[in-house]
Structures are given as structure tokens and as C-alpha cells.
Chains A and B, each alone.
Chain A
């Protein structure tokens, strides 16, 4: 019971603090504005960083954590593109060396890529075409055959015009109906759909959506789609062997290319970590700038709150004296002023959260952002912390006032 009474006492003092806020809304608004901005920026930064993380995970899934891609160009480079543009094309023959000499590569496939207009009836769309080996079925990452089947060795040998389509083809061409068995035209040649891939969604990877995809035998690709495109070798290893397999693939490729020891690689062995570096540097840049801005604005707003609290204590010196004469303990006064400071900062934080919520509502219509409920909790904690930190010195000054002097204060 004693404890309960003490609690209700605390609430009383909080109520007194709140009343002081109600009586000066403009001051409270201006003071809490800094915190609003701080919370707003920190939320934007957090949302930004977490969407980068999500995108990164998606592209990891897309490229796979167990795959190496031998290409002409490295996936990430810094303005030194001229070094790569005259490199020789990747040749299918290199695969033989790799399968023959490699210890860590479990499976390989050629992957030819081009973009072409595909059509069905009156609808047409640009599609990404991959020409691959039958083994590529086990090397799909981030997706799988959901409907129908992959092409067989036999179909590959016979250069059959069979395709596996990405998830957007169903809605784009067939109004959501089962595409299996239908025929679509790619560059004027008709292909039969034999399989359908699971939807992958949007990604930061080149090409935006990952589902505008068509897979066919590389033999068919070579015979029919002779226009511009590029080739890559896809190598499958085990996730824990990525580093060593990468080294090995590089060695074998150098041998295959007959490079002298002092010559630089004229090919690139890529893996999803290349993106990780890019994502990480982007993340660090955003987070660094963001937290600097936020940190400054939070410190400034804490100082603002402290200043306002000093003014509030000064203004109400006589009231403090009176309350003490009427039986308020130092603790009562401390709680009263601390709760005033905390409330100012929570008001600022709430305004920030409301702003963030509105912004995400707007952004969500065209960007994959989401509003994190945990954010409210963290903001609350931060605001309570800032309020207590900023309010502590003024509130202690108030609590330690001598009632006689305070009463005499004019």
C-alpha cells in the first residue's frame, strides 16, 4: 500500500509537470522541434539502411552464396572501365579446363545473356534471355521451377525451342493463366513454354525485376539468337569453399587464357560478395552522414530542452518555494521538473514519428520501404533518455532550492 501511494505520488508530480507544459505550448513546440528533426532523420536513415540490407539479401539470393561467375567485366569497379572494354570474350571452351582441373567446382554451366522482344498475340515485352546447360537447373538461385519442368539433355543436344519463363510472363502474356504448353515468339521465332519460375520480385540488380526472364538451352540460343549478348561461366561450389574455389577458378582461367605471370587477368571471377562491398560502402556512407546529422541535432535539442528547463525553473522559483513550504520534498520537485523535460522530448519524438509515418505512407507507393513498429519503442527510449539527461541539472537545481530563499524570490 505504501508503495502504491508512492507511485500515485509520482503520477501527481508528473501531472503537475504536464500542466506546466500545457500552459506554454509555443515554447514547448519550438523546443521539441529539434528532437522532431533528429528522430525524423534517424528514422529515415534506419529505414534506408534496412532497405539496403533487404536489397542486399535479395541479390545474395539472386546470385547465390555458392556461385562464381566468370565474366569479362568485374561486377564492381571504380571508373576504370577502359581497362575492361578490350578484354576477350568468355569462351565456352574454358569450361572444359575448369571441369577437368578443378577440385572445388562441383558443377558448371555456360550462361549466355541477351535482351529481346518477346510477344504473344498482341502483347509484347522486353525479356532477358539466358542460354544455359541442362545442369543449370540445379544452379538456379533465389528461384526454382514452380510449374512444369526444366529442359532435358536431349532437348539441349537437339537445340529444341523450349523455354522456361519467369513469373511476370504469366501475368504479362497470359492474363494469369497457366503458360505451360503455350507458345511465345522471341525475335520472330516461336518457342514452347515448358516450365515456370517462382516469383523473385524487385531487386537492385541490373534489370529491376528479376522475373522478366526466359531460360533456354544454350545450343538453341546460339543457333537462333545471334544478336548482341554476352557470355559468362557459372560455377557451382560450396558456400564454405567460395574463397578457395575463386582462387582456383582464377588460376585455371589464367592457364586457359595462356597468360604470362606478369600479365593481369583479362577476365573477372565474380561472386555476390562483390555486391556486398558496394552495399556496405553505401550503407556506411548513409549511416555515417545520417548519424552525424542526427547526433548533432539530438545534442542541440537536448541543450535546447535544458535551456528551457532552466528558464522554467527560474520563472517558477516562487512556486517551488511555496510547494516546498506546503510539504513537497526535493524528490517531488525533481520528479515534477524531470517529467516536464521528458514530456517535452517525447512530444518532439512523437511528432518525428508521425512525420516518418506520413513519409513512409507516401514513399511506400513507389519504393519498398516499411514502417518499423520497433521504431516507436526506440524513439520513446531515446526521448526519455534525452529528457532525463537534459532535465537533470535544471531539475536538481529546482529540487535543491532553499524554500526560504525561493519564497522570497520575486
Chain B
């Protein structure tokens, strides 16, 4: 049984022009990611993994090559189309959680839904469901500063899940957590994977990468290992 192809990257390059210096952050990279993959992307800083992640997350477009997400060509889209894709197809989880401090858990989870034209009641019920699914059903009204680090990251994961995205893109999701909370979050990623989600984790920690079913390593703008 061949799995559905979610991400198809064909020989993309990203070139930055810094004065007279031409920096090739990504050099002719190709990568395919299938449904229900659990991938880790590893690499030292400056290797180009952030650039790759930004392109996968539709925050940036490649200078060369093609990128298809769910069979939609991303590389030539306008900014507002990219925003729509990000809204519908990608759930971001950040190292620093990036919750809005003045909003409570439900309101934070609601943020992506605001940009997808749903009624208020629909938004609230979806946000509550997402928070229930990450085990925070009893913390709905709490502001981020009233939650522990692990709980904050779970709110962020609920926010990533709330629009039922095609991929979950996590950037160092355990980087700001103590080991116990980190483990908790990683277990949670396992559960999400078992539930059928496609997960991409960008990390430089081996312990995190080990959890993934497929490890991609990147060095000097090229994929050096993919197993």
C-alpha cells in the first residue's frame, strides 16, 4: 500500500544575497514526506534546517525548485494565498510556545480559527475540543502565565491541531522545557502520530530525534542523511 504524498520538494534552493556574498542556505534539496510520517530534521545551526522548515511551513518560498503541499504548488503563491495555506494546512508548534499573554487558553487556541471565517460559537466549541484532546479541559480560562511550561506547550499544540492541518510542524518543541515536561510532550507527539497525524520535528537533540520514525539530517544546505 503506497501512502499518500503530502509534501513533495523537488530540488529547491534558497539563495540569500548579502551584499556581495551569495549564501546558499539550501542547495538543491529534494524531500518527500508521506501521510502519517513522523520525521525529525536535524542539523547544526547554519545548516539550513530553519530555512527548510520555513519553506515547508509556507513562511518563505524557495528561490528555485518546486514545492507541493497536498498537491498544491506553493512556490509561486502570493503572500495572502500563503497565509491561507498556513491557516488550513499547517499547525505550528514553537520552541517558545508563542502564546498571546493577554488571552486565555481558549482564546489562544481560537487565533487560527479567526482567520478562517467561522462563527464565534463554532470557534469556541472547536477550541474547547482541541484543549480537551490535549488534556487541558480543566484549564480553559487560564492565561499562559497561570500554566506550567508543559501545559503552555500543550495549549500551543491544541492551537496547532485546531484547524485539522495536514502537517504539524514543530520547531524545537522541547527546547524550553525541563526534561520531564519534554518527555511528556514527546509522548504526546507519539500519540498524535498514532492518531494519524503527519509530524515534522526540527531539533538538534538526539533524544527527540530518536522518537521520530524517519530521521533527516541536513548539513551545509544539503540533505546528508535520510533514513
Contacts and interface: CB of A to CB of B under 8 A. Distances in A.
Nearest to A405: B59
Interface string A213-249: 0000000000000000000000000000000000000
B59 A331 contact: no
B79 interface: yes
Given A23-B102, A331-B80, A325 B115 contact: no
Interface in B53-112: 54, 57, 59-60, 79-80, 83-84, 86-88, 92, 94, 98, 100, 102, 111-112
Interface string B112-125: 10111101000000
Interface in A376-410: 403-404, 407
B102 A326 contact: no
A329 interface: yes
Contacts of A327: 83-84, 86-88, 112, 115-116, 163
A324 B114 contact: no
B98 A407 contact: yes
Contacts of B98: 318, 322, 407
A19 interface: yes
A13 B59 CA distance: 21
Contacts of A332: 83, 115
Chain A interface mostly helix, strand, loop or mixed?
helix
Contacts of B163: 327
A96 interface: no
A326 B80 contact: no
Nearest to B115: A327
Contacts of B87: 326-327
Interface range on chain A: under 10, 10 to 19, 20 to 34, or 35 or more? 20 to 34
Contacts of B119: 8
A330 interface: yes
Interface string A2-39: 00011011001100100100010000000000000000
A369 B54 CA distance: 64
Interface in B112-164: 112, 114-117, 119, 159, 163
Contacts of B54: 404
Given A403-B59, A404-B59, A404-B60, A326 B115 contact: yes
A318 B59 CA distance: 14
26 contacts: A5-B117, A9-B117, A13-B114, A19-B102, A318-B98, A322-B98, A322-B100, A323-B111, A326-B92, A326-B111, A326-B159, A327-B83, A327-B84, A327-B87, A327-B88, A327-B112, A327-B115, A327-B116, A328-B114, A329-B84, A329-B115, A330-B79, A403-B59, A404-B54, A404-B59, A407-B94
* Among all A-B residue pairs, the 9 with the closest Cβ atoms: A327-B87, A5-B117, A327-B115, A326-B112, A329-B80, A329-B83, A322-B98, A327-B86, A12-B114
